[in-house]
Structure 1
Amino acid sequence: MNITRENIDALNAVVKVDIAKDDYADKVNTVLSDYRKNANIPGFRKGHVPMGLVKKQYGKAVLVDEVNKLLQDALNKYLTEEKLDVLGNPLPKPQDDLNWDADEFSFEFELGLAPEFDVKVKSKKAITHYNIEATDKMIDDQIENIANQYGKLIAKDTVEKGDEVTGRFFSEENEIDKSTTFSLDKIKGKKNTDAFLGAKVDDVLTLKTKGLFDETHSLVSYVGVNAEEADKLNVEVTFTITEINQREGADLDQDLFDKLFGKDVVKSVTELKAKLKEDAEKQFAQQSDQKLLNDVTENLIENTKFELPADFLKKWIQTSGENPLSEDEASEEYEKSEKGLRYQLIEGKIITDNNLQVTFDEIKEGTKEMVKGQMAQFGQLNPSEEELDNIAARVLGNQDEIKRINEQMLSKKLIEFYKENANLKVKKISYDDFIKEVYS
């Protein structure tokens, strides 16, 4: 067997594989001998069918099958040994005149090669990294909500100022269907407040989402819309009242603190505020990090210039799916996927050049931490290593879970890498202002 490569240009090559009879003859004869032992052909005893008859009936199919196996194995081995970074899969060049009665065969494959390029993570223009702070008002509102949540409910017939209303926001057209409970104090504007005051159970109110609540995150929580849409959403919804209650807040004492966080974790209202602020800002940090990852990704795609073997990739897209595509359809698919492919290559180079790969041991330890956190939510604070190992082993028995956890951990590594190496400017901002600035 002989394999040669002709580089058409920096992004395209053709590999030629020459296969001689000596490369496949022994394997074909072995397979045909097995066929002969097991063949059931009328007029002959099993195992005594003439080899000539077996070759006549099965020889061509076995030859084609074995040559194709040999071809694929040889091609894969060649690509690995030559360390060729190919895009898509090798495409066989059409051979309408291939003669399977010959002793020697030649096959050619088109290759699309990954480009060589440099990545500059530190851009000229600084990228904003948001430090989202929990405001005093947000914390005070959360404390009020906690006191109300653990306080007493007094059922009422008619909505009055300060009451708590339970009901269902609905808009079929805008795919809104959210059952929720909120204090009337959360409603913004006299017109909206007046719509509630005096209303009774089973009344249906018609409201506009724009300016309905005093804060953007309230619209996200109570109406169930996406954070990206909340600030600009202006649609009509109905709200059907199912309950009206006056809530008497619980005392902010040690019993309540212990119920919320465990014994003596929080011992005063000051410590309660600090704890709530810390927990809120941990959640905000996740949103900030995701925003940073998105922004750095966009920046890298825009500023890392390289060519792709576009014609090859379009041809590959045409034939790689379950159903062949036309040239126009393949071109359209390529346009849709080009940006993602570019970042895939950029991200792969960053990971390789900076040794950011996630090891299986890291995946295992990350899984154990995840399991430990989930167990803590149910009061199991000190699981044994054996318990964690057993549960992690079950989780990692699922390949989809391994892939998901690997992607999560890789994203964390990339975010930390970008924080250390990208040109960032930190901006302190409230959550509401973050939503307005990022999604408006």
Structure 2
Amino acid sequence: MEITLDKHSANQASIKIKLIEADYQPKVDAKLKDYAKKAVIRGFRPGKAPISMVKNMYGISLLVDEINAILGESLNTYLKEQTFKILGEPLPVEKGDDSIDWKTQKEFEFEYKIGFVDTIGLTLDNSIKGTKYTILVDDKLVNETLDNLKSQYGENSNPETSEVGDFIYGDLASKEGEFTKTLSLDTSKISKKLAGKFTGIAKEAVVEFDSKEVKKEEWSTAFGLSEDEISNVAGALTFTVQNINRTTDATLDQDFFDKIFGPDQVKSEEEFINKVKETLQGSYTRESKVFTEEELKKVLVEKASIALPDDFLKEWLLRANEGKVSEADVENEYPIYAKQLTWSLISNQIAKDNGVQAEHEDVIEKTKEMIREQFASSGLGAQLEASMDVFVDNYLKGNDGQNYMNMLTSVQNDKVLALVQEKIDLEEKKISIDEFKELLEK
């Protein structure tokens, strides 16, 4: 047997495997003898058919099976001995159907395409700069949240005459064009001047105004129109009122507190506000962590500078999912796949270099945390904890065990990113909610 590697580029190569008769024939002959002992062929007693007849009947299929087995084992062994990291799976170079004469041919040559990356070199030290973000919950966000909660749990009514802040349900129509849509207008989100036209009106009233009186963002925030609909709204408009909807804010009393946090969890307005702030801060602390980690991944990906064999991987993805995806699907989804693959390579290398390992106990604890978060607002509390082991076991066994592997990978990533933050030059930065939103938009 002869195996040769031909590198076409920094991350793609072909492997050729040449087989001679001595590589496969002894095993084929042994299997033929074994078949002959068991074969039941008409006209002969079991196991007494001539070996030549057994060979004519089963020889080619046994030859093909044996050569495929040799190829698979030899290729895997050869690749394990290499210093580079194989990506995807080797792809057989396809030849014509008549390229092999299985009856007479004694020597065979097979070729495979491979994609790979060389050893990833990434030293975690102060030369790598990163930022750890902490999102601070301010009074503005707390007040906005309180207002939303009071509105959400408030009392709804349909008054005869409208006031500022009401939702006006009706038909918006263009006077000269064909545009028309039934919608609910949030009068708290339009200008005071325009809101004045919708104040003090009753059902069946017709409000006339011009599209120029509406700010661009108000078409979506107040009128709820899509981009396509906004482009069709122009000139003189009418709004015919069908109904008026008003929400009276809920009162900050014990009944309200219980609805939000459960019975007797808070017993005063001060406790309620503090609990809201605490809940918000917990939520944004998790968001801070996720955002920090995603930004650190970008830094490490750039630092590692890994060149993926893009053309090979696209071909491999198409073949591996034959019939399920098109070339266009692969092309569209590839950037996301490449990003995930690059980070996986870096994470695995850091884990290997630093002895980071995800343990079974870590997987169990992380799964428990995930389940607690999912049921945080369910009010199950003690019931959930009493049945936690069952929830965890069912989840980790789900999806044919893939949930367990995904959680194992997630635990390793957590440990790797924690190590990264210990090793690199990490600047801690406190930001407001508005600053956080600006960062997300970049």
Q: Same fold (TM over 0.5)?
A: yes
Corresponding residue number in structure 2 for 1:389 = 389
Q: In the aligned structure 2, how far is the partner of 1:115 from the partner of 1:93? A: 23
The aligned residue for residue 26 of structure 1 is 30
The residue identity in structure 1 corresponding to 2:31 is: K
CA distance in 2, matches of 1:408, 1:370: 12
- Which residue does 1:137 correspond to in 2? 140
RMSD: 5.0
Instruction: Give 1:428's aligned residue.
Output: 430
The one-letter code matched in structure 1 to 2:272 is L
Residue 341 (structure 1) shift: 4.5
Counterparts of 1:232-243 in structure 2, within 5 Å, are none
CA distance in 2, matches of 1:437, 1:338: 23
**Of the candidates 425, 437, 440, which is equivalent to residue 438 of structure 1?**
440
Give 3-state SS (helix, strand or coil) of 1:147's partner. helix
Percent sequence identity is: 29
For residues 112 and 439 of structure 1, the distance between their equivalents in structure 2, rounded to whole angstroms, comes to 35
Residues 133 and 322 (structure 1), Cα distance of their counterparts in 2 relative to 1, 3 Å cut: same
1:60 Cα offset (Å) = 0.8
1:160 maps to which of 159, 163, 188: 163
CA distance in 2, matches of 1:223, 1:67: 65
Distance 1:281 1:210, change over 3 A: farther
In 1: Cα distance, 2:232 partner to 2:417 partner: 39
Offset at residue 421 of structure 1 (A)? 3.8
Please report the TM-score for the alignment, with normalisation by the length of structure 2. 0.71
* Per-residue CA distance 1:365-388 (angstroms, 9 max, x = gap): 322333344455333211376622
Structure 1 residues 113 and 148, CA gap change in structure 2 (3 angstroms): closer
Instruction: Render the CA deviation track for 1:139-170: whole Å, top value 9, x for unaligned.
Output: 1222233334334333213431243567999x
- Structure 2 counterpart SS, 1:157: coil
The CA distance in 1 between the partners of 2:336 and 2:76, in whole Å, is: 29
* 8 A contact 1:158–1:244 mirrored in 2: yes
Deviations 1:110-146 (A, max 9, x none): 5544312322456758444432223312212222333
1:274 matched to 2:280? The reply is no
* Deviations 1:283-309 (CA, angstroms, capped at 9, x unpaired): 233433333333333333333235556
Matches within 5 A, 1:316-355: 322=322, 341-355=341-355
Deviating more after overlay: 344-353 vs 116-125? 116-125
Taking structure 1 as reference, are residues 413 and 271 closer, same or farther at Cα in structure 2, changes over 3 Å only?
Answer: farther
Q: How far does the alpha carbon of each residue in 1:157-202 deviate from its partner, in whole angstroms, 9 at most, with x for none?
A: 3431243567999xxxxxxx999896x44x1522553464356668
Cα distance change, pair 294–373 in 1 and its aligned pair in 2 (3 A):
closer
Native 8 Å contact 2:85 2:119 kept in 1: no
**3-state SS of 1:438 partner:** helix
Asked whether the 8 Å contact 1:16–1:106 carries over to 2, the reply is yes
Contact 2:36 2:47 in 1 (8 A): no
List gaps (5 residues or longer) in structure 2.
173-180
Q: Which residue of 2 aligns with 1:173?
A: none
Question: In the alignment, which residue of structure 1 is the partner of 2:218?
Answer: 212
Residues 388, 241 of structure 1: alpha-carbon distance in 2 compared, 3 angstrom cutoff: farther
Q: 1:203 to 1:409 in 2, by over 3 A?
A: farther
Query: How far is 1:55 from its partner?
Result: 1.7
Alpha-carbon distance between aligned partners in 2 of 1:181 and 1:411, rounded to the nearest angstrom:
46
Would the aligned equivalents of 1:317 and 1:333 in 2 still touch at CA under 8 Å? no
Distance in 2 separating the partners of 1:219 and 1:334: 34
SS of match in other structure, 2:382: coil
Map of 1:34-433 to 2, 5 A cutoff?
34=38, 36-37=39-40, 49-80=49-80, 85-92=85-92, 96=99, 101=104, 107=110, 109=112, 111-120=114-123, 126-163=129-166, 184-185=187-188, 187-194=189-196, 196-198=198-200, 210-212=216-218, 244-306=244-306, 322=322, 341-375=341-375, 377-383=377-383, 387-399=387-399, 400-406=402-408, 408-433=410-435
Cα separation, 1, equivalents of 2:433 and 2:358: 32
CA contact (8 A) 2:171 2:240 kept: yes
Name which of structure 1's ranges 274-283 and 236-245 shifts more when overlaid on structure 2.
236-245
Structure 1: gaps of 5 or more residues: 170-176
CA contact (8 A) 1:188 1:211 kept: no
Distance, in Å, in 1 between the alignment partners of 2:368 and 2:275 is 25
Given that 2:36 and 2:49 are in contact with CA atoms closer than 8 Å, whether structure 1 keeps it comes out as: no
Equivalent AA in structure 1 for residue 383 of structure 2: P
CA deviation after TM superposition for structure 1 residue 395, in Å: 1.7
CA contact (8 A) 2:37 2:48 kept: no
Which piece of structure 1 moves more, 131-140 or 98-107?
98-107
Contact conserved, 1:31 with 1:62, CA < 8 A, in 2? no
AA aligned to 1:56 is: N
SS of 1:266's partner is coil
Q: SS state of the match for residue 301, structure 2?
A: helix
- Larger mean CA deviation between 94-103 and 272-281 belongs to 94-103
Count of residues in correspondence between the two structures: 415
Contact 1:314 1:330 in 2 (8 A): yes
Quote the Cα distance in structure 2 between the aligned partners of 1:384 and 1:75.
50
1:320-339, Cα deviation, whole Å (9 max, x unpaired): 5637x9x9x99999889665
Length-normalised TM-score, structure 1: 0.71
The alpha-carbon distance between structure 1 residues 67 and 191, as it changes in their structure 2 partners (threshold 3 A), is farther
